[in-house]
Chains A and B, each alone.
Chain A
């Protein structure tokens, strides 16, 4: 139980902090969500700066062009960038946290050489083609088909909830290469492909979220041809390949957000103090409780990162425990914010209400809370599989 950082880790933090202090003041504000090309260019520019300073793909292995940082260093990186108010990973999210690490772990030398450097430099943006209208939390039941034709797969189907699809160059696409049958369970027969977004037959249609923005899209695939050489991992082995990707998502995806939530809570307390609602003991105690909860969630993050040091950086199943607690606390935070702000919380020009609306996705995205509870019950607690 050692919560102090080593000299090496502190040195890393100090260098990063000094660099951020130097580069951040000259950065313009990030374009609004209405301007996706602008956002893409902005996010790519930030990625390029990270690359030039040696902070790109910090947690990627050295032979994949990363820095081979320990999980603790990655934690420090995410903590410090959020603390300093640095730009969010944004459009580079899928490339840096899903597709890149997957290709680094499972790709051939040629595939790594083709796809990894542009992700690190911010030259190419990826999106994620996993979910389908009938395959959300039950991802393995996806139906988009890829039929082999010579050196190509011919792909037909549709994807949904595809973040950054409008501006992406590549899509990490899950397709069915063998039909579901008694002999072949549904999670077998899936393959992982890198699909160029400008391939003929790809149609992207933006979806509007309940927050009013177009953060993601649906994607229609009509006999799209993708070279077999773009398959990462063996044919029909895409499910295992994908699980590698998802474990990264659950491990460190929320580090910066916990830091941000703690800051938001502090702002909320000062707002309540200024507008007099702090004098309401029920509300004041609710804020106090949230402070305790987010403090514990930060410690749980450190705990999970420490655990992952022992597994070569692959986060364990503790990610499900964290996601269940965090998604609930985040929603509670913004409901409490609405109590502090009263009717002002309804004005759509405020950040609060947009954050409150987007917090609703946290118990749904990346596996609903109900599915996470099944995972915890069956895989950690060992309760029998059921329906």
Chain B
């Protein structure tokens, strides 16, 4: 057993980080916000050319021939960079929807949960429908009414009717989304630590105050536990392990973004700080593929059925 990343995996992760830092740094991120969240088709094609969507297709089919562990590393970096768009759905559509693998098509999915129907507002919310060429696992593109979205980089439409969720993709979708969450959780630790080192109050960096230190330390603990769970789930693809990874990564991303906002103090409450973008995206992802309640129920069922180690006496 050696759980550590191989050299190739480390190189892949570093390469993707460099690529995204160059192509989608802070200025590009803020430009997307100013553009109202419309998808950058040029960037989407570049991601396709870099193998982002075709990563797990066989080389004979024009893919890169890598596995879920590698995909998880790439998605962790995308989460860190707050890369917008239906990344998971398009990745899952590679090989079945024409153009998805190359990044010339944008594919979304019915991956947002929630009751929708009676008593709710009716219909269901679909992300990036306005930019989409296809919906994963459905024959045609539905029409929908635009809805103002909490996340400025995740436009939402409300589609009439229940819509059939892409159940076959649920575990992989949840896992890759968990990887995005883990990346975001790790990034907000960095943002909080950097701010805590720079910002001075009472004559010293606020990071010297134990109250701030402990927020940051607990953020790292959450992020590292979640990241480990995501990596392990990518290796085993066990449904319970995937559900656990999604549960922990959702919590890490949301709570880390909130703690990061707290460390930023008054600055954190402004539109200029990037913290709110991480928090809002984390909220969106927490509703995708598998919610906390669903994950907990699945895990509870698995726990009851599991053959756990037994004591001799």
> A1-B5, A288-B296, A291-B240 are contacts. A321–B220 as well, Cβ < 8 Å?
yes
Contact at B235–A383, with CB atoms within 8 Å? Answer: no
Contact at A376–B303, with CB atoms within 8 Å? Answer: no
**In the assembled complex, A355 has its CB within 8 A of some CB on chain B:** no
Bound together, the chains give a CA A29 to CA B313 distance in angstroms of: 8
**In the assembled complex, A249 has its CB within 8 A of some CB on chain B:** no
Chain A residue contacts of B298, Cβ below 8 A: 288
Interface segment, one of A50-58, A78-86, A103-111, A358-366:
A78-86
Contact at A24–B312, with CB atoms within 8 Å? Answer: yes
Contact at A384–B232, with CB atoms within 8 Å? Answer: no
**In the assembled complex, B37 has its CB within 8 A of some CB on chain A:** no
Chain B residue contacts of A86, Cβ below 8 A: 312
Contact at B296–A289, with CB atoms within 8 Å? Answer: yes
Which DSSP category, helix, strand, loop or mixed, fits chain A's interface?
helix
Chain B residue contacts of A302, Cβ below 8 A: 1, 3, 232
- Give the residue of A270, A299, A387 whose beta carbon is less than 8 angstroms from that of B229: A299
- Give the residue of A287, A303, A305, A376 whose beta carbon is less than 8 angstroms from that of B221: A376
Bound together, the chains give a CA A274 to CA B292 distance in angstroms of: 25
Contact at B216–A381, with CB atoms within 8 Å? Answer: yes
Chain A residue contacts of B26, Cβ below 8 A: none
Contact at A383–B213, with CB atoms within 8 Å? Answer: yes
Size of the B side of the interface (Cβ < 8 Å), in residues, is 61
> A29-B313, A263-B309 are contacts. A310–B4 as well, Cβ < 8 Å?
yes
Which residue of chain B is the closest to A76 with respect to CB atoms? B1
Contact at A300–B224, with CB atoms within 8 Å? Answer: yes
B 211-239 binary contact with A (CB < 8 Å = 1; else 0): 01110111011001110110110111000
Which DSSP category, helix, strand, loop or mixed, fits chain B's interface?
helix
Q: A222-281: which residues lie under 8 A (CB-CB) from chain B?
A: 259, 262-263, 265-266, 269-270, 273, 278, 281
> A265-B308, A386-B209 are contacts. A296–B225 as well, Cβ < 8 Å?
yes
Contact at A377–B216, with CB atoms within 8 Å? Answer: yes
**In the assembled complex, B311 has its CB within 8 A of some CB on chain A:** yes
Contact at B3–A2, with CB atoms within 8 Å? Answer: yes
> A292-B243, A378-B213 are contacts. A306–B3 as well, Cβ < 8 Å?
yes
Contact at A382–B193, with CB atoms within 8 Å? Answer: yes
Which residue of chain B is the closest to A24 with respect to CB atoms? B312
Q: Which of A269, A292, A306, A377 has the most CB of B within 10 A?
A: A292
**Range of interface residues on chain A?**
35 or more
> A86-B312, A296-B228, A384-B197 are contacts. A377–B296 as well, Cβ < 8 Å?
no
Bound together, the chains give a CA A213 to CA B97 distance in angstroms of: 66
**In the assembled complex, A293 has its CB within 8 A of some CB on chain B:** yes
Which residue of chain B is the closest to A324 with respect to CB atoms? B221
**In the assembled complex, B310 has its CB within 8 A of some CB on chain A:** yes
Bound together, the chains give a CA A86 to CA B313 distance in angstroms of: 9
Contact at B300–A307, with CB atoms within 8 Å? Answer: no
- Give the residue of A4, A289, A384 whose beta carbon is less than 8 angstroms from that of B299: A289
Bound together, the chains give a CA A241 to CA B42 distance in angstroms of: 59
Distance in Å: Cβ of B312 to nearest Cβ of chain A: 3
Chain A residue contacts of B299, Cβ below 8 A: 288-289, 291-292
> A266-B303, A288-B298 are contacts. A386–B231 as well, Cβ < 8 Å?
no
> A1-B9, A296-B248 are contacts. A307–B4 as well, Cβ < 8 Å?
yes
Distance in Å: Cβ of A5 to nearest Cβ of chain B: 5
B 167-206 binary contact with A (CB < 8 Å = 1; else 0): 0000000000000000000000100010011000000110
Chain A residue contacts of B313, Cβ below 8 A: 29, 85
In the complex, 13 of the A-B residue pairs with CB atoms within 8 angstroms, ordered by the A residue number, are A3-B236, A263-B308, A265-B303, A285-B297, A286-B296, A287-B300, A287-B303, A292-B295, A296-B229, A299-B231, A384-B204, A386-B210, A387-B210
Chain A positions within 8 Å of B, measured between CB atoms, are 1-6, 9, 24-25, 29, 72, 75, 82-86, 259, 262-263, 265-266, 269-270, 273, 278, 281, 284-289, 291-293, 295-297, 299-300, 302-303, 305-307, 309-310, 318, 321, 324-325, 370, 372-374, 376-378, 380-387
Chain B positions within 8 Å of A, measured between CB atoms, are 1-6, 9, 69, 189, 193, 196-197, 204-205, 207-210, 212-214, 216-218, 220-221, 224-226, 228-229, 231-232, 234-236, 240-241, 243-245, 247-248, 293, 295-304, 306, 308-313
